[in-house]
Structure 1
Amino acid sequence: MVKLTLKQQRFVDEYLITGNATDSAIVAGYSKKYAGQNADKLLKNTKIKTYIDERLKELGDEKIAKQEEILQYLTSIMRGEQTEQILRGMGEGYQQLIDIEVGAKDRIKAAELLGKRYGMWTDKVDIFGEVVFITGDDEIEE
């Protein structure tokens, strides 16, 4: 991680939340006058820019599912290892949240998506036409 002053670090953390450089600089402790005139300079600072990139990568890694995780999840649905919650009426307007097995349609869809991933189903395509080759002598060969 890049070393920043505490004020710069607070600026980046606030900027990642709001996307507003001027307001973020003020919240971080810079004066309103400085923030208004120099917020864009803070964003151009190479250390701050590098820190922003590092933080965005960290946040992205935490929040975005990777390919392996998606494949594992689809496999667990296909195998019936996942449950889903529904509301069941218990009478007199009372409802209870219960867990049920994932339905057959969802399991089939998961299997279909996994099959597509591994190229198990391909469409047959017939291609007809002539191939024309042009040589360096500008003669056409078939």
Structure 2
Amino acid sequence: MSGKLTPKQAMFVKEYLVDLNATQAAIRAGYSAKTASEQGARLLGNVKIQAALGEVQQKRGNRLDVTADRIEKELAKIAFSHITDVIDWREITLESNEDEPNHSAAIACQSIRLKDSDTLSPEVTATIQEISQTAHGVKVKLYDKLKALELLGRRHGIFIDKVEHSGTIKNQNLSEAELDKRIAELTKKLS
């Protein structure tokens, strides 16, 4: 791990990676349950701990071949998928038997056929969330195309959340000495 962490800090890093819950990680690492929330937040703000977390996450990502590029490719498969990659449908007309007198009717209906799985590419099968048999036929469900488009759009800066802040902002002009004093007080409270 990066830098020199204390044994407790190293344990926090290990425990944090279990569930990404700083409070619980602090408790499991041996910090007081009373102040675990504050300790967890403080530890996450520690540069050495951030570096250690980044290092471990990078190793995990490398081991699992999880890269931004791979994730984007998977999202793109879903975002740009089409139901016609999985099924064929067309309208057909069923004619009545002409041999029967007074029966000259025709019925139009939809014919839906699931494509043979052997003909589907891995890119197409990756977009299928569910195929199941129901009382009325076969149900085909693809992964959420809109969600994939939204995630890709956010990644590429197409969709940007507008956040509004309300409330008052208290602006204080503190001298260097006053600022140092406040930082020391807060640090003492957190220790």
TM-score (norm. length: structure 1): 0.45
When normalised by structure 2's length, the TM-score is: 0.34
